[in-house]
Amino acid sequence: MNLEKVIFGFFVLLAATLNFGFFLGDIGDPSVHNVYELFAAVVVNLIATVLKFGDRTQIGAVQLATSLVASLQLIAAAVVWTYATNVASDALSHEMTASVVSLSGGAVFANIVSVVLLVVETVSFQRR
Amino acid sequence: MGNPLLIFWYRIFGEEEENGPRSYAGAQPLPSIPSGQTSAGILLVLRRMRIPLVVIIVIFAVSVLGLSLIPGEDAQGDPRRMGIFESFYFMSYTATTIGFGEIPHTFTAAQRMWVTFAIFLSVIGWAYAIGSMLALLQDRAFRRALARRHFVRKVGHLGEPFLLLVGYGNAAKRLARALDDMGRRFAVVDYDENRVASVDLDSYRADTPALLADARDTAKLAMAGLGYPNCEGVIALTGDDETNLDVTMTAALLRPDVPVIARTFSREIAEKMRAFGAPEVVNPLDRFGDHLRILLRSPAEYQLMVWLTSSPGTPLPPRRAPLPRGRWVVCGYGRFGRELTDDLRAEGLEVTVVEGKREGRVGQFAGRIDADDLESADIQHAAAVVAATEDDMTNLWLVEEARRINGEALEVALQNRAANSPLFDAVGVDIALVSAEVVAHEVMARLANPVLMRFLPQVPRQGEEWASHMVERLVDRCGRGTPDLWRVRLTEEEAPALAPWLAEGELRLGDLLRSPRGRETPLGVVTLTLLRSGNRVIGPDDDYLLRRDDQLLIAGGPSARRALDVTLTDEPTASYVIDGRIVPSGWVGQLLSRKGPSRSREEV
């Protein structure tokens, strides 16, 4: 068992599940999208990105790329949410919620690619 | 070729160019440089910063989350929680020690407890991250990776032909100085950190890349220059024979087109080197003897050869007095002593060898020479004493002792370490043989100009009188500094202006080498050699008739070189210089007066 693989797999999967949980539900209804779930998804995604820093392998580099995409999408979602709650006149309107959730939906796709890569790497790993 | 010395020169210098570097079947393309090497620095930073960054992210997340969950109150005392954004804002300016205060409302006691905890946590996190970063900057591996990256970029941007100098000892330093004076570019590889650092301190005119690496590593050698098409030669001058052999082999196998010059102290290694391609092998121990033999025959020849192989602008070295041809005493029978004794005997001299005692007394090194040994060598009646042990202190002592016994004898000493030269100067040795100096001259002779190697081996043939005359002519025409050497080919491409005269076959060398400013004054150049279809004429005189496709090796200053270039390429100038006729340079004027080169020699 490789501890590094366990930790990385944990964070990649956790990022995907948290993000998916936030994404789930009516896209424009703020009551079904918990902001703390978004917060957790951002943090876990950032950690998953940093964990792939300096990886020389090909698959590691692609994983770094997908994690970066997910992080950037989620940070964009967080910024939109901050703007909607703190700056805009009507707090968290239907449109604003929709754009936050759709941004996180993009991140979900990147997370899924990360998970697929993780599975591919695990399956192609020869030593048992 | 009955003259043993000539055989020597032939063996050493050989007939170059006829048998160029052997090319191996299917010569490889340029060895590629592993790209992982060059980006190692960034990868190392990223890898080392992984954990500190994760720690900071976690600390931030925990602090922000906690702050947003803890109940607070607004100015009216109504319960109000901070949002995630407000908490993030507060933590950002607190953790980075900017500290705007308690925004947006004064904190409750519970919030203050949490913030106290968060502040200490973030301080620890930042201290850890910055500490790791600083430790990384101090890290040797990291600095080496950065230096390597820097080196590769510098070599890649050289943009002109450069030499790869492997090893940066005393001989290489002398050589590098001379190359720099000649305006040649080079890259340095050495395994010693101090030597690599000294490349910057030696302040060459051109920016010189230096790499800290073991030259036996093929990838490093490829990175240092072998992998670049601009690399025009490899010079292996490390102190270690095996490394030099390794470099020679690597260069011959990977880049058969690149000439290699290697130093070695051993004959076996030299043989091994010659098995790969056609490297030029310099054995300083062997060369000392040859230098002494030339000096014995003709001091002027020796003077000329040393001068022409110095860096440009070196003043003419003084001519040594002729060496005595009596009995020589060689003290020390090591590698050097043996080579030297063979050379001197071949020259027909009587040589007495003083070999140290094989079984020394207690506390004495075997092979060490002491006063008793010198007594038995009969130094009183010797013509010359050579101190040839491999220990400088012993050599100095031998010189002093020999002088005490016989003040008349010539003193020759082998100087093993360049750092000891002040001591040898203080003792006042007649001839000090310095390995680094010999190597530098030998390599320069091979690098300065390919045609020079056609000329130098011929010098010992010409005799004392010719050599001293040549030195006088060179000093007279080109001044007291070592002249530039260059080759002129009288072909259609390189000397288009001379075509009519060359076709007639009546162009005198002296007429060609006149100044375009006023043809009464000869150019400040001397023709050292003329090559005509494989035959060579050494030091042709002014009446020599030139033909098409002749090659000339010419010595002179830079201004004379420019003047000669104009004569070779510009027809009106050539016409004036050779015939003294002033030809109109405009097209119409030429059309009106053109009747081929005039045969009538009008004096101007």
**Which chain A residue shows the shortest CA-CA distance from B47?**
A54
Q: Find, in chain B, the residue whose alpha carbon is nearest to that of A78.
A: B85
Who among B43, B57, B84 is closest to A54 (CB)?
B43
Q: Which of B39, B48, B50, B82 to mutate to test the interface with A (most CBs of A within 10 A)?
A: B50
Q: Which helix (H) or strand (E) holds B574?
A: helix B571-579
Is 80 exceeded by the pLDDT of residue A1?
A: no
Identify the three-state secondary structure at position B235.
strand
Strands B551-556 and B525-532: antiparallel
Give whole-number Cα distances, B82 to B58, B89, B115, in Å.
20, 10, 13
Integer CA distances (angstroms), B462 to B7, B298, B457, in order: 15, 10, 10
Q: Which of B44, B49, B54 to mutate to test the interface with A (most CBs of A within 10 A)?
A: B54
Mean pLDDT by 10 residues, chain B (604 residues): 43 40 45 55 82 93 93 87 90 88 87 92 92 88 83 86 90 87 87 88 86 86 84 88 90 86 88 85 83 84 84 82 84 81 85 68 52 75 84 85 84 83 85 83 79 78 84 84 83 83 81 83 84 81 82 84 85 81 72 53 41
In chain A, the residue whose alpha carbon lies closest to the alpha carbon of B44 is A54
Q: What is the mean pLDDT of chain A?
A: 90
Whether residues A50 and B64 touch (CB distance < 8 A) is answered with: no
**3-state secondary structure (DSSP) of residue B451:** coil
Under 8 Å between Cβ of B449 and B487: yes
Full DSSP string of B85-129: HHHHHHHHHHHTT----S-SSPPPHHHHHHHHHHHHHHHHHHHHH
| Structural domain that includes position A106 | 3-124
Across the interface, of A35, A39, A53, the residue whose CB is closest to B46 is A53
CA distance B539 to B239: 38
pLDDT at B286: 80
Q: Is B136 exposed, middle or buried (0-12, 13-18, 19+ CB in 10 A)?
A: middle
Burial string for B423-447 (b: 16+ CB within 10 Å, else e) reads ebeebebebbbbbbbbbbbbbbbbb
Closest in A39, A54, A85 to B46, CB measured: A54
Per-residue pLDDT of A99-115, as tens digits, reads 999 999 999 999 999 99
Cβ proximity of B544 and B554 under 8 Å = no
Contact B83 A85 (CB under 8 A): yes
Question: pLDDT tens for residues A49-72?
Answer: 999 888 878 888 899 999 999 999
Task: Determine, for residues A47 and B57 on separate chains, whether the beta-carbon distance falls below 8 Å.
Answer: yes
Domains of chain B: 40-138 (1.10.287.70), 142-282 (3.40.50.720), 317-441 (3.40.50.720), 483-593 (3.30.70.1450)
The neighbouring-strand residues paired with B79 are: B73
pLDDT recorded at residue B129? 93
Chain B positions in Cβ-Cβ contact with residue A56 (cut-off 8 Å): 36, 43
Which tokens sit at B254?
A: 């990977």
Give the torsion sign (CA, B285, B291, B294, B295).
Answer: negative
Query: Cα separation of A114 and A122, whole Å?
Result: 12
CB contact under 8 A, B47 and A53: yes
pLDDT for A126 equals 63
Q: Dump the DSSP string for B390-423.
A: S-HHHHHHHHHHHHHH-TTSEEEEEE--GGGHHH
Cα B453 vs. chain centroid, distance in angstroms? Answer: 18
- Long-range residue pairs from B63-67, CB within 8 A, at least 24 positions apart, any chain: B63/B87, B63/B91, B63/B95, B63/B114, B63/B118, B63/B121, B63/B122, B64/A39, B64/B88, B64/B91, B65/A36, B65/A39, B66/B114, B66/B117, B66/B118, B67/B91, B67/B111, B67/B114, B67/B115, B67/B118
- Residue A50 and residue B47: Cβ atoms within 8 Å? no
Please answer yes or no on whether A54 and B50 come within 8 Å at the CB atom: yes
Spatial CB neighbours of B514, under 8 Å, sequence gap ≥ 6: B520, B521, B522, B523, B577, B578
Q: What is the pLDDT of residue A38?
A: 94
Helices (H), chain A: 3-23, 35-51, 58-86, 94-124
- Tell me which residue in A35, A47, A56 faces B84 most closely, judged by beta carbons: A35
Q: How far apart are CA B351 and CA B345, in angstroms?
A: 7
Per CB-CB distance under 8 Å, the chain A contacts of B50 are: 50-51, 53-54
Q: Which among A43, A50, A85 is the nearest to B50, CB-wise?
A: A50
Closest to B434 in 3D by CA, of B466, B412, B455 = B412
Global model pTM greater than 0.80: no
Q: How many domains does chain A have?
A: 1
**For residue B85, which residues of chain A lie inside 8 Å, CB to CB?**
82, 85-86
ipTM value for the complex = 0.86
Per the DSSP assignment, residues forming a β-bridge with B234 are B164, B260
CB atoms within 10 A of CB B154: 15
Q: What's residue B559's pLDDT?
A: 83
Interchain contact, B45 vs A54, CB within 8 Å: yes
- The pLDDT of residue B410 is 85
A50 touches chain B (CB under 8 A): yes
